[in-house]
Amino acid sequence: MDRKKTRKLIFCALMIALVFVSTRSIQIPIPFTQGYIHAGDSMIFVAAILLGWEYGAVAGGVGSALADLVSYPHWALPTLIIKTFMGALVGWIAKDSREKGSKTASIITSIGMASVWFGFMYLLRYKLSTMITPKSTDLLGEIDGAETINQLLLLSQKVQSQLLWAAILIPLVILVLAFFLHKVDKELFAVNQLLGMMVAGLWMVLGYYVAAGIMYGTFIVPIFSIPWNIVQFVMGAVIGYLIILALKKTPIMTYID
């Protein structure tokens, strides 16, 4: 085994530990699905962008699944699948744009994912508006903060608005920000890295929605947790990108490249 690969394996093991610690150290409970907001996504982004998609997949999947095994063991398997693909996606899209065809492929992937995201958010918004009615008393025991039908309807309208804004603003803001920062400094601000974080974050939101729907037997209640999951991946992208920018100015990059 060559020295470069050995170093990457060591860094991968370190990132697994950092994903685990950052996931476990700060936990804000999310209503409706018994999940929580955490900073683990930031370490997944760092691992995948600095080490590559293979190591990002391992660090994201294993580190996150181990964290869930401690407190939420029933989520460990879905988390392993979702976070493995999350790390792989951000690492693959964020890879060096000088590689032949990688820039075009990642842009196409990002546009496709943004389109899927918009359609999915709009569909969920429509589903909420048609499925939750004054007769939806069966949902009152499933949704925190909704003890009456009126409260449920008000919460539903609020989430519908949040989904609409998320569908439009999240892809737009990240794309505009990516291209703007790239023009400011092409060495520090890589468009592919921000696009990779966006696509991986959107995948995470969609993945946990489907997993929660299957686990709890309803695809209505998990919709209410989507805005919280969006907050998590946006927060993770901001923290992760700041860490990456800082690391690029240190000698550690000579050991990774």
The pLDDT tens digits of the residues spanning 156-201 come to: 888 888 877 777 777 777 667 766 766 766 655 677 787 788 889 8
Q: Which of 51-55, 118-122, 248-252 has the highest mean pLDDT?
A: 51-55
CATH architecture of the domain formed by 3-256: Orthogonal Bundle (1.10)
Answer yes or no: is pLDDT of 140 > 70.
no
Position 208 scores a pLDDT of: 93
Answer yes or no: is pLDDT of 62 > 70.
yes
Query: What residues does 28 pair with on adjacent strands?
Result: 37
Position 137 scores a pLDDT of: 61
Answer yes or no: is pLDDT of 245 > 50.
yes
Mean per-residue pLDDT over the chain, rounded: 81
Position 210 scores a pLDDT of: 92
Q: What is the distance between the alpha carbons of residues 176 and 229, in angstroms, rounded to a whole number?
A: 22
Q: What is the distance between the alpha carbons of residues 60 and 19, in angstroms, rounded to a whole number?
A: 7
> Residues 2-45: pLDDT tens digits?
777 888 899 999 999 999 999 998 788 776 556 678 899 999 99
Tokens of 186: 């092409």
Position 97 scores a pLDDT of: 46
Residue 37 has φ and ψ, to the nearest 5°, of -85, 140
Q: How far is CA 218 from the centre of its chain?
A: 22
| Torsional sign, CA 39, 186, 99, 3 | negative
**DSSP E strand stretches across the chain:** 28-29, 36-37
| Global pTM value | 0.84
For residue 193, the one-letter residue type is Q
In this prediction, residues 51-57 reach a mean pLDDT of 94
Position 136 scores a pLDDT of: 66
Position 98 scores a pLDDT of: 41
Q: What is the distance between the alpha carbons of residues 181 and 179, in angstroms, rounded to a whole number?
A: 6
Q: pLDDT higher for 59 or 127? A: 59
Q: pLDDT higher for 80 or 170? A: 80
Position 64 scores a pLDDT of: 96
Tokens of 243: 């860490």
